[in-house]
Structure 1
């Protein structure tokens, strides 16, 4: 978004500052709406969210401290023929070794989501069990976004995890194909603390 500040003739210094503050506030509110004010299907709600720095993606979550489980919604811009994935890497940062949730539109034209392990730089992306429990996994496509819903945990190593997110442009025989190797795809990882609101 580009902010254009109108020229106000003969405006006092305090008036200019007030105008700047109002416009800056509107910009911040508009940016925040991409994450915290998102409306999910079926009236799902999440108390925490983070706009991720690459691939037009957002992560939403609810952390249950008594069960050490996290309900997540990962959403990212995507073409209907592509795929998205969000993962936790239990041992290090980066893609290899991560435990992923992947979603795409299958050959029956319905959304599908399942767990898979990423063991190499050219993964098969087939359905596999993870080292942690995953339940209530589903996917949705609306407003040019793919969304993965799931409950993960219990989290054995605390609430801060290495996470990775990814997307690709094609699916063949119900298997996601290799993602691009451009800079945003190679930088889409980091750490997240699920106790952060």
Structure 2
């Protein structure tokens, strides 16, 4: 009978794999332990959780862990929410809204440092908060069974932990939750958080049982913001100044200076800029419909750009004939509106960068576009003046010669 021989290196390989896996095991166990909010609450439930959810939230560097228990008439959840405090005097907040994922109507748990100790209170966020009234601690209709907080001076992160009994109107399959961080607390009254997009986007609807984020509205809004920025960049930021350069310096280039070619090129640039820019403007109006009090300067400048650009497009249809006496006034109006548009566009695109906070490459790319177009305009402007100065003596000689021919007596 043949005996199968085991390769002599197999025990060494098994030992090596055992050592590798055992070295990773504590890390995995620690991450799972940290993930479950049940481990942050010493008082255990009588049964295991029906489901757990561990999630890095998409904004403000926040983390959320949930344990859901379906052992009573009303659902019970254990919550562990953490985020980095903007400063030691700041605050973090997490809450539920029974109607929609908005700030107003949220029943919030808010943690901060008071005289060096971590405290957490319940707040009912009413519509008065939207009118700059400072929220203060108040009772909420949820059954707050456990509520505590702790702060790590090493990491600067504050964690709040709670066990909540949810009333029937809170559907765990469509749970609207909101989170936030703020910079200052006076006593127990909160000061307003920053008005950045990350702060406005700190809301979701989740299915606690499946762990699924419901709806793609916030994702779609982020896509629309980037579409708004890219279209504004192309339309107002590139095509508009290119059309202006073409109009001002077309005489230098023989291939477009003849006939109406220059006018068609100029009209094509400006019409394309208008169509793309107005599309970006419409997207911007939709995005700003929920935050009318935010980014007012960017909004009003955008409206002014749309109005002036519409006047410019209408001017193509209302341009006087070459022999019309009002042509000079029309040219002054057209040039003034065009250069005003250019200035407002540059200002508003930079304001858009401050709001959207895209990757730094976006701002760098736009600055490069401005520098390149400005350099082209400066070179062409210098060329125009050189051509003008060279042509002026010739024109003067031709004028003098024409006058001399007129005064010269006719030959007999």
Deviation readout 1:62-99 (Å, 9 max, x if unpaired): 11111210010010111322100001011122101111
Unaligned runs of 5+ in 1: 1-31
Count of residues in correspondence between the two structures? 164
Comparing both structures, which one devotes a greater share of its residues to helix? Answer: 2
In structure 2, distance between residues paired with 1:98 and 1:127: 13
What is the Cα deviation at residue 43 of structure 1? Answer: 5.1
For the structure 1 residues 61 and 40, does the alpha-carbon distance in structure 2 shift closer, same or farther, using more than 3 Å as the test?
closer
For the structure 1 residues 50 and 42, does the alpha-carbon distance in structure 2 shift closer, same or farther, using more than 3 Å as the test?
closer
SS in structure 1 of the partner of residue 34 of structure 2? coil
The match for 1:125 is 135
The match for 1:114 is 121
The match for 1:70 is 77
In structure 1, distance between residues paired with 2:156 and 2:34: 14
Structure with more contact order per residue of length (Cα contacts < 8 Å, sep ≥ 6) = 1
Structure possessing the higher radius of gyration over alpha carbons:
2
In structure 2, distance between residues paired with 1:39 and 1:52: 13
Q: Determine if contact 1:62/1:70 at 8 Å carries over to the other structure.
A: yes
The match for 2:196 is 182
Q: Determine if contact 1:69/1:155 at 8 Å carries over to the other structure.
A: no
What is the Cα deviation at residue 44 of structure 1? Answer: 2.2
Deviation readout 1:31-72 (Å, 9 max, x if unpaired): x99x85637999527942111100000111111111210010
In structure 1, distance between residues paired with 2:144 and 2:207: 18
Q: Determine if contact 1:137/1:150 at 8 Å carries over to the other structure.
A: yes
Comparing both structures, which one devotes a greater share of its residues to strand? Answer: 1
What is the Cα deviation at residue 161 of structure 1? Answer: 1.0
Which stretches of structure 1, 4 residues or more, deviate above 4 A after TM superposition? 39-43
In structure 2, distance between residues paired with 1:52 and 1:103: 18
The match for 1:138 is 148
Deviation readout 1:3-46 (Å, 9 max, x if unpaired): xxxxxxxxxxxxxxxxxxxxxxxxxxxxx99x856379995279
Q: Determine if contact 2:137/2:188 at 8 Å carries over to the other structure.
A: no
The match for 1:51 is 56
SS in structure 1 of the partner of residue 54 of structure 2? strand
SS in structure 2 of the partner of residue 38 of structure 1? helix
In structure 2, distance between residues paired with 1:42 and 1:196: 18
In structure 2, distance between residues paired with 1:69 and 1:41: 13
